[in-house]
Amino acid sequence: MSLSLKDIKLTGELIRGLKITLRYMFKPSVTIQYPTQRREASENYRGLIRWDKDKCVACVLCEYFCPAKAIDITTGEDEAGNKKVLNYQVDASHCMYCGYCVEICPVKAIKHSEHFELSVYELEDTIYAQEKMAGDPPITKYR
Q: Using CB under 6 A, list all residues that contact ligand SF4.
A: 49, 51, 56-62, 66-68, 70-71, 73, 90, 95-101, 104-105, 107, 109-110
Nearer to ligand SF4, 19 or 113 (CB): 113
As measured in angstroms, the least distance from the Cβ of 103 to ligand SF4 is 8
As measured in angstroms, the least distance from the Cβ of 140 to ligand SF4 is 21
As measured in angstroms, the least distance from the Cβ of 115 to ligand SF4 is 13
The CA distance from 102 to 18, in Å, is 49
As measured in angstroms, the least distance from the Cβ of 80 to ligand SF4 is 18
Nearer to ligand SF4, 41 or 98 (CB): 98
3-state SS of the chain is CCCCHHHHHHHHHHHHHHHHHHHHHCCCCCCCCCCCCCCCCCCCCCCCEEECCCCCCCCCHHHHHCCCCCEEEEEEECCCCCEEEEEEEEECCCCCCCCHHHHHCCCCCEEECCCCCCCCCCHHHHEEEHHHHCCCCCCCCCC
Nearer to ligand SF4, 17 or 106 (CB): 106
Nearer to ligand SF4, 24 or 64 (CB): 64
